[in-house]
Structure 1
Amino acid sequence: MSKISVIGAGGRVGSGCVRNIAEILGKKGNENTKNTLAMIDIPQALNLMKGMAMDIKDAVLNDVEIFASDNRADIAKSDIVVITAGKPRGPGMTREQLLSENAVIIKGIAEDIAKFSPDSKVIVVSNPLDVMSYVTYTTMHKISSKVGREIVGMGGVLDSMRYRKFIAEAFNCGIKDVSGAIVLGIHGEGMVPIESTVRLKRLKIKEEDKEKLREAVKKTISAGKTIADFGASAYFAPGAAVARMVNAILEDTKEILPCSVIPNGKYEIDDELFIGLPVRLGKNGIEEIVELKISWEEKSKIKTAAECLTNNLTHIFI
């Protein structure tokens, strides 16, 4: 049996994660072996989550056990804990203020994970994602000696899904025809959509078609803002991205996915921070950081993104 807990499940992103994870857990269980999905949030969201749990059970119609709680102790013995909690950026709020305020929230959550479910793998979804992944790791490592490979940030999986879609649209082809669409670096404006690895029907992009690819890059970088400008927010796609990561860990697929991780010297990044890099994700968390054959310019952009993240860490006051 498997148990997954989502902290911040009362929010849109959190509930989106629950919906998609429930599909995966349901396929793995039966009436005799039910997998468990815990929805965790603040007391004010408890009744909302109870209603969501009923609705999601009706939607997936499988044997997963879903329950709602405002007590973080209920994450005990989770295989994976997903963190989606945190404040959105409000009017007049600087990026530095958002960093500091969410860092305090995530630090408290990380302390409780270390206390109640220290052996779980942790997937961080809260923004600013790379910095919140770092806060989660440093907090848990101090308390429970949590190793870095067991904590990953979601960002690159979502960004790469968008990148692949925009490439398919730009070239008027099927999404299945697109491979090698991967986004590294920061989950935000400092992301680095990799052009050199992209293939259409396993063939390199022709030089005369490079401008189409660059348009797909631009749309990928601005996708989150575009959704927000329409008055919406992304929660379906983040939920799907998290579910893909959960499946890779539970099924030990060792699928290569772009996740926010500690570089450990890979891609010539020696600083202790979290940044989007391609990894093999399996039952132990990060099984390996994969060094792709990318251009010198793309490597340089990733290093620049790392420098930006190092600077962001100076704005955290916890």
Structure 2
Amino acid sequence: FAHPVRVMAGDYPALEGCRIVIIAAGVNQKPGETRLQLLERNAAIFKEVVPNVVKYAPEAVLVVATNPVDIMTHLTVRFAAEYGVPPHRVFGSGTTLDTARFRTLLGAHLGVSAINVHGYVIGEHGDSEVLAWSLTTVGVIPLDDFCRTQNIDLSDDIRHDIDQKVRRAAYTIIEGKGATYYGIGSALARIVDAILSDQRAILTVCCPTPQVVGVNDVTIALPHIVGGQGIMGMYPLPLDQAEETALQASAALIKNIITEIEQTL
């Protein structure tokens, strides 16, 4: 009943000829270890892994899954660039999974398929992420108009409940079974499909961005066009003032951490 998949183990030479390489290497946080200390250890791992990946798969699109994914993607772009890999071929899973959770929860509340809910979670893949309510549509209908015509209650309390369920989903899953893997696995499969099929799909992946609401040179999740060569483009988001302020705070948080970790390299 399952797709025929061949799973094999190998060393770096096995990557030769790969079109896509997903990097999920990393270590777990030790008791009492700060996030910066954890980042330093993961950065050291990536500094070894990335050159070896690029050596054997120089034309591959690199997709980063290691958390904190925004920071690790920023470092991967930097390390890969030293070996001639262009930035558009390196990006992270970003908030692809968070966006799927948002659409699923909102679709369930509205009584429509999540496929027809077009909404995005942007910013950090973490506590400061931003649900872009003002841009959300159901089919082609703005969310507020849809709720009004269908007599669906979408009060501030209901929005807050959906927001918290999206934001805290990973914590809830970890409390129940100790780790998250199926969700991010599905998100990565979606990203890989977009690359292999050159779909030009709009996905909330993360990659270095010259400027985000006043924060320069930061790696953050925004809607990007993903295709056969990696990042094919992006488009500006007409956020409302509250969302723009929240995105700026999220970008500033990531930028501060990037600055800290780069001082240790």
Please point out which of 9, 27, 31 is paired with 1:68: 9
Residue deviations 1:248-292 (CA, integer Å, cap 9, x gap): 111111010001111133x43552231001000011111111213
Partner deviation per Cα, 1:46-89 (whole Å, 9 max, x = no partner)? xxxxxxxxxxxxx6343x544211x1121122100001111122
**Percent sequence identity over aligned pairs:** 26
Distance 1:217 1:118, change over 3 A: same
- 2:57 counterpart of 1:112: no
AA matched with 2:195: I
Provide the C-alpha distance between the structure 2 equivalents of 1:128 and 1:80, rounded to a whole number of angstroms: 21
Determine if contact 1:168/1:174 at 8 Å carries over to the other structure.
yes
SS in 2 for 1:249: helix
Change (3 A) 1:241 1:73: same
Q: Kindly tell me: are residues 117 and 177 of structure 1, through their superposed partners in 2, closer, same or farther at Cα, counting changes over 3 Å?
A: closer
Determine which of 178, 181, 189 is the counterpart of 1:232: 178
Could you tell me which of 67, 70, 82 is aligned with 1:127?
67
1:218 partnered with 2:164: yes
> Residue deviations 1:142-186, cap 9 Å, x none?
1x22211111110311111111122234x2523336512211100
CA RMSD of aligned residues (A): 2.0
| Contact 2:107–2:117 under 8 Å retained in 1 | no
Cα distance change of structure 1 residues 271 and 83 upon mapping to structure 2, 3 Å threshold: same
Task: Report the CA distance shift for 1:175/1:307 in structure 2 as closer, same or farther (over 3 A).
Answer: same
1:109-258 equivalences under 5 Å are: 109-142=49-82, 144-169=83-108, 171=109, 173-176=111-114, 178-200=116-138, 202-205=141-144, 206=147, 209-211=154-156, 212-258=158-204
User: Normalising to structure 2: TM-score of the pair?
Assistant: 0.89
Work out the CA distance in 1 between the residues paired with 2:245 and 2:142. Answer: 25
Q: Do the aligned partners of 1:182 and 1:193 also contact (CA within 8 Å) in 2?
A: yes
1:92 corresponds to which of 20, 29, 32: 32
User: Do 1:178 and 1:198's aligned partners in 2 also have CA atoms closer than 8 Å?
Assistant: no
Counterparts of 2:33 and 2:175 in 1: how far apart (Å)? 18
Retained in 1: the 8 A contact 2:215–2:248?
Answer: no
Distance 2:114 2:174 in 1: 27
Q: State the partner residue of 1:77.
A: 17
Q: Which amino acid aligns with 1:195?
A: W
Q: Given the superposition, is the C-alpha separation of residues 301 and 150 from structure 1 closer, same or farther in structure 2, using an over 3 Å criterion?
A: same
When residues 223 and 176 of structure 1 are mapped into structure 2, their CA distance, relative to the original with a 3 A threshold, is closer
Kindly provide the amino acid, as one letter, of the partner of residue 143 in structure 2.
K
Answer whether contact 1:155 1:259 (CA < 8 A) is retained. yes
- The alpha carbon displacement at 1:242 in A equals 0.5
Q: Which runs of 5+ in 2 are unaligned?
A: none
TM-score (normalised: structure 1)? 0.75
Residue 288 of structure 1 pairs with residue 228 of structure 2: no
Q: Is the 8 A contact 1:158 1:241 kept in 2?
A: yes
Q: Which residue identity does 1:141 align to in structure 2?
A: A
Deviations 1:116-153 (A, max 9, x none): 212110100001100000111101101x2221111111
- Aligned residues, how many? 255
Query: CA separation in 1, counterparts of 2:175 and 2:191?
Result: 28
Structure 1 gap ranges (5+): 1-58
Aligned residue type for 2:200: K
